[in-house]
Amino acid sequence: MNILVLVKQVPDTSDVKFDERGVMIREGVQSILNVFDQFAVEEALRLKQKYGGEVSVMTLAPEQAKTAVQKCLALGADKAYHISDRAFGGSDTLATSYALSLAIKKAGNFDLIMAGNQATDGDTGHIGPQVAEWLGIPHVSYVEQVVSIDNGKALVKSILEDGYRMVEVELPALLACLPPTNFEYTNPSMSGIIKAKSKPYIWWKADDIDGDKSKFGLNGSPTRVLKMYPPPKRSRGTVFTENYQDAVKKIVEALMEKKVIE
């Protein structure tokens, strides 16, 4: 089993702040490995344990994202591909998925490509399905578990709003993964962190991957951000601390006035 996991470093959204013009205040904001991706890495490593083979990780990001990639190696991944070039600046999801698909083709033959279902920063959920489309392989989203791999097929559990599906997909395939609610993330061990330093870490520039360069970066991105702004704030409303009976009455009255209950 040769598995590749696509990963991304993201700012920790629980402490991200923006100024009034919609510019991110970077100071004091930690960069972390996207939690959806970490789950995908851990699921891939579980498969490796069961079926053997190798787990590689890949990111398309500025150099500083190495910390997140290194964490994947420390968790047990065998090899890393880091594609970094100014040419990729301003990429939207179409341009990013295109460049990733080229890098994947160059990196070799993988039985399984895994990725987080979405990243907590952009939250588009586009990359997995779009990489699969560029590569012409099937994919399944919202994958909570890879149940088994047998006879060139993976059996996976994919979550729906009101339940789940058991899906069998032919390999090679891409799985966009969603951590189950009670998932406990592993912290890399000391020995894992030390071992990670001597694992193969491959850097590629735009010139290292074959493809249509006009589809890279901002030029290859159909979408443009017109502007960013802070969301309209919800303000603190009326809070009652006593006379519950009376408070309930007043609230129900107000809800009827607003026609949210009939």
Partner 1 sequence: MSDEYKGILVVGEIYDGKIRPVTFQLVTKARELADTLNTNLSVVLLGHNIGEMAKEPIYYGADKVYIMDDKIFEPYVAEVYSRALSKFINNLKPEIVLIPATHTGREYGPRIAAALQTGMTADCTDLVIKNGRFVQVRPAYGGNIMGEIITPNHRPQISTVRPNVFKTKEPDKNRTGEIIQVKPEFDSIKIRTLIKEIVKTTVTGAKKLDEAKIIVSGGRGVGSKEGFEKLKELADLLGGAVGASRVAVDLGWMPKSAQVGQSGITVQPDLYIACGISGTIQHIVGMKDSKVIVAINKDPNAPIFNIADYGIVGDLHEIIPMFIEEIKRIKKK
Per the CB < 8 A criterion, the answer to whether 171 and 113 are in contact is: no
Q: How far apart are CA 243 and CA 241, in angstroms?
A: 7
Buried b (16+ CB within 10 A) or exposed e, 120-140: beeeebbbbbbbbbbbebebb
Output the smallest distance, CB 10 to partner 1, in A: 9
Question: What DSSP state is assigned to residue 89?
Answer: T
**Closest of 201, 196, 189 to residue 73, by C-alpha:** 196
**Closest of 189, 149, 202, 151 to residue 43, by C-alpha:** 149
**Closest of 102, 103, 93 to residue 130, by C-alpha:** 93
Residue 17 interacting with partner 1 (CB under 8 A): yes
Q: Contact with partner 1 (CB under 8 A): which of 122, 188, 192, 211?
A: 122
Residue 194 interacting with partner 1 (CB under 8 A): no
Segment 225-244, which members bind partner 1 (CB under 8 A)? Answer: 225-231, 234, 236-241, 244
Residue 190 interacting with partner 1 (CB under 8 A): no
Residue 167 interacting with partner 1 (CB under 8 A): yes
Complex with partner 1: residue 4 or 115, whichever CB lies closer: 115
Query: Residues 126-165 vs partner 1: string with x where CB under 8 A?
Result: xxxxx-xxx--xxxxxx------------x---xxxxxxx
Output the smallest distance, CB 165 to partner 1, in A: 5
**Dmax (CA) of the chain:** 71
Complex with partner 1: residue 21 or 191, whichever CB lies closer: 21
# residues near partner 1 by CB under 8 A: 84
Query: Residues 25-64 vs partner 1: string with x where CB under 8 A?
Result: ----------------------------------------
**Which residue shows structure tokens 């249509």?**
212
Q: How far apart are CA 99 and CA 81, in angstroms?
A: 13
Residue 214 interacting with partner 1 (CB under 8 A): no
Per the CB < 8 A criterion, the answer to whether 17 and 228 are in contact is: no
Residue 252 interacting with partner 1 (CB under 8 A): yes
Output the smallest distance, CB 102 to partner 1, in A: 13
Complex with partner 1: residue 138 or 192, whichever CB lies closer: 138
How much is the CA Rg of the chain, to the nearest whole Å?
Answer: 22
Q: Contact with partner 1 (CB under 8 A): which of 150, 170, 208, 210?
A: 170
